[in-house]
Amino acid sequence: MQKHRINDRACSGKASIVPTFSLMTMDDVPEVAALEKICFPTPWSEKLFVNEIENNNSYFLTATIKDKLIGYAGFWLIIDEAHIVNLAVHPEFRRQGIGRILIENILDMAKQKGALKATLEVRETNTPANLLYERLGFVCVALRKGYYADTKEHAMVMWMDL
Ligand SMILES: CC(C)(COP(=O)(O)OP(=O)(O)OC[C@H]1O[C@@H](n2cnc3c(N)ncnc32)[C@H](O)[C@@H]1OP(=O)(O)O)[C@@H](O)C(=O)NCCC(=O)NCCS
């Protein structure tokens, strides 16, 4: 299937190879679901990612290097709010700026589609993600106690103006 490429932002100087960012397609779903299993204790199934592609208010980007999927992120556009619902980078490719660029591309896309604010939930104990979101300008505005059914961890609810 033809890939719809997204404007590439610069990776940090640490990245040895520059990834390609594209809209997720049905062809990507098996690799996305496989990476999801590596990255999350309660992973989304392939069917859930197929549902995202079929949902007109859902937008997912992939990051690939030489046709290998190394990251993805997605959001739902709900009126003028972008709800970031997923972000993952393959463990071998972390700390090279790929997660940051995925979210920056997501926020750019959300703004182009009329979003005025962005929000997400993140496990309180997920320090890498918390630091990444804070660095991008997200602010924690609330704590949802015991939100995650698998570990009973609290969720930090973060927002930012776009
Ligand atoms: C969170 C995640 C997507 C970050 O991806 P990444 O590509 O490694 O992040 P980046 O390289 O773009 O990091 C950008 C900034 O975030 C912060 N950060 C990211 N990972 C960090 C870590 N392990 N420790 C401390 N700070 C970290 C740093 O400020 C970093 O900037 P720096 O490298 O210049 O110091 C990745 O760790 C991941 O996939 N985790 C598992 C899935 C997950 O938790 N997703 C988020 C769900 S809400």
Tell me whether residue 91 is in a domain: yes
| Alpha carbons 101 and 105: distance in angstroms, whole number | 6
Residue 30's pLDDT is 98
Q: Which atom of ligand 1 is nearest to the CA of 73?
A: 3
Tell me whether residue 72 is in a domain: yes
Q: Which two tokens stand for residue 95?
A: 């700390």
Residue 7's pLDDT is 61
The pLDDT of residue 159 is above 60: yes
Residue 10's pLDDT is 58
Q: Is 35 in the pocket of ligand 1 (CB under 6 A)?
A: no
133 in active site = yes
| Residue in 104, 121, 124, 134 annotated catalytic | 121
54 in active site = no
Tell me whether residue 130 is in a domain: no
> Taking the complete model, does pTM exceed 0.85, yes or no?
yes
Total tally of structural domains belonging to the chain: 1
| Alpha carbons 81 and 27: distance in angstroms, whole number | 28
As to burial, measured by CB atoms within 10 angstroms (0-12 exposed, 13-18 middle, 19+ buried), residue 47 is exposed
pLDDT tens by residue, 134-154: 999 999 999 999 999 888 999
> Which CATH number characterizes residue 110's domain?
3.40.630.30
Tell me whether residue 83 is in a domain: yes
| Alpha carbons 36 and 29: distance in angstroms, whole number | 10
Tell me whether residue 10 is in a domain: no
Q: Which atom of ligand 1 is nearest to the CA of 103?
A: 12
Residue 94 belongs to domain spanning: 20-115
Average the pLDDT over 102-108 and give the result.
Answer: 97
Tell me whether residue 126 is in a domain: no
**DSSP assignment string, 95-161:** SSSHHHHHHHHHHHHHHHTT--EEEEEEETT-HHHHHHHHHHT-EEEEEETT--TTT-PPEEEEEEE
Handedness of CA 79, 85, 87, 88 (dihedral sign): negative
pLDDT tens by residue, 32-81: 999 999 999 999 999 999 999 999 999 999 999 998 999 999 999 999 99
Tell me whether residue 51 is in a domain: yes
Tell me whether residue 137 is in a domain: no
